[in-house]
Amino acid sequence: NIYSLLPERWRARNPVITSVGRLDKDTSGLLLLTDQSQLVHRLTSPKHKVPKTYHASLDREPPAGLTELFASGTLTLEGDKQPCAPATLTMRSPREATLILTEGKYHQVRRMFASQGCEVLTLHRPQFGDLTLNELAPGNWRELPLDTFALES
């Protein structure tokens, strides 16, 4: 797990280090870790609408109208009672998509595409709010000063 990659002094912190959101084992990209509970709330609460950007490669070209469907805020995923919040879909090529979400339902990107008959083959999150990976290599990390984040509501 990601916590085993942290320096020992961070694993022993009180308050404990926690992730801001999550990435499943088949998803790469930006993951924030912090011991600031106010920051976790600010970045993950749906009311703050912090955008998360994903790049997805698909097994097939999605059906026409998908951009509008995802943007409509009417797509209800199997097992959910509430529809997904409006999301911004941009097709970079017939099978390569960028999707920007402001919520974080369980496996949401994969489930949104699957609901329309498309399997996500690869998924990568290059951006969370205003933070980007830039040139940070997979498996590497960097410390950010707390003032990187505007914590006022």
Which among 24, 35, 80, 130 is annotated as catalytic?
24
Q: Report the distance separating Cα 82 and Cα 139, nearest Å.
A: 35
Q: Say whether 24 is catalytic.
A: yes
Report whether 42 contacts 13 (CB < 8 A): no
Tokens 């959910």, residue located: 80
DSSP state of 63: P
Kind and range of the H or E run holding 120: strand 120-128
**What token pair was written down for 21?**
């959101």
**What token pair was written down for 145?**
């000063």
Q: Which residues are catalytic?
A: 24
